[in-house]
Structure 1
């Protein structure tokens, strides 16, 4: 014969939580937000949970496992909201989570394939640079692409990738770029904005930029850029938050450039703008 078992009429919070597959802390939270009515306390001052309490707690756990929010659970129990509305919104949330999970998996796959932080940038950028050797891009190149993607979006960064392709495949242009970077950085050491070096550097930087554009065209990279513009539909799912306005970038991205260096950049921009307007 089996021993007779008499089920308890009420249980303590620890037993209630264990049976439902949750924790006492979670049960207390359900009480606090009004999702689970707080039962009466026994003579020892502790809560006692009866059959109805356990049924409610089990339904809460089932809804939570389905992804239903606590607010929607509360509405469902009180019939304050149409259950179809709750389920419709839940389906939208789950679909968004699934899409985000797919994007994250794609990013991990790109990281594995590329083997460098380049894989964290958008697929447009990664694809454009995928044919380069792993050590062809410098960390500073990736930093620049990262900022460009934030300001101008994946398409802007993919177009800028042409510059780094040329620098990676033209040692003479890379060497001149390094010399210019060093000379411009030297302007931050207290140089006068009207120092003759400022204008000289602006002219050299303009010449370098012109040489880069010519190399880009000679390599047919400009044609690849045009194809990007033609195929880009402006709807890169999951990458909308990579972009911000240029105004926001200017006001939020810190650069510790000296007045001399800023003037050099402005003069270079004027030279480039003048050349482009003359071409058109």
Structure 2
């Protein structure tokens, strides 16, 4: 029995172009030809083509098959690398399926980070944007904390901050900074990584700092940025005073 190129390709579940490519790379021997010039492939060609197909189907590169010449296997190192790639692909697929399930449950919400679809309805536009950027800059553990922070009804200070107009006067800014400092202090105590994020970054410290600075300027108006800076400074100062008072109380010999 002899097969034409088309028949061989169909039988092996591949294409004529693939067969020609394997000939060009020296992976498949050229067949004999009939008197009319047509190629006639035999069982050895089919077996070799199926061997190549098997290796290609599991991801073995053409260059590796060429390196093996007439061999039909591959090295443990190549197989380990392919296996690692497949494991990563499976992990990505599982994450994608989990995200799809979350979106199907809570609606096709695409303007928040993965895992935030459930809390999206209560988030402001700026908070939604922040979840996306945070997810790109910080490790998953940090995002769990961010989701926990957002998965509560906003306190009055946060609501006032989100709605603060750009032309808010000085007294209004000062009052809100005083009030908002309590919210920030609570977050700093509950999530220490906020003050030391370096060990939780997915990007470099510099690129993270630049991205966050640009993001804050883009989503908050000047009055909000001013209040945020003041409130953060007040929160840290008061936390420092509180820690100092505790140290004084515990100091030996002061009784």
> TM-score by structure 1 length?
0.60
Return the match for 1:248 from 202, 207, 214. 207
**Alpha-carbon distance in 1 for matches of 2:169, 2:41:** 79
| Aligned counterparts of 2:222 and 2:205: Cα–Cα separation in 1 | 17
- Equivalent residue for 1:210? 181
Query: Does the 8 Å CA contact 2:33/2:39 hold for their aligned counterparts?
Result: yes
Q: Please state if 1:273 is matched with 2:233.
A: yes
Is 1:152 the equivalent of 2:111?
no
Shift of residue 35, structure 1, vs aligned partner: 3.4
1:48-197, aligned counterparts within 5 Å?
Answer: 48-79=40-71, 83-115=75-107, 117=109, 121=113, 126=116, 135-161=121-147, 163-166=149-152, 168-170=153-155, 172-173=156-157, 175-180=159-164, 183-184=165-166
Deviation at 1:175, TM superposition (A): 4.3
Structure 2 distance, partners of 1:78, 1:262, is 70
TM-score normalised over the length of structure 2: 0.64
- Unaligned 5+ residue runs, structure 2? 241-255
Judged with a 3 Å threshold, the aligned counterparts in structure 2 of structure 1 residues 120 and 59 are, in CA distance, closer, same or farther, namely farther
Matched-pair contact (CA < 8 Å) for 2:12–2:50: yes
Cα contact 2:180–2:231 (8 A) shared by 1: no
Deviates more, 1:42-51 or 1:242-251: 42-51
What runs of 5+ residues in structure 1 fail to find an aligned partner? 1-6, 187-196, 235-239
Using the alignment, how far apart are the partners of 1:155 and 1:33 within structure 2?
48
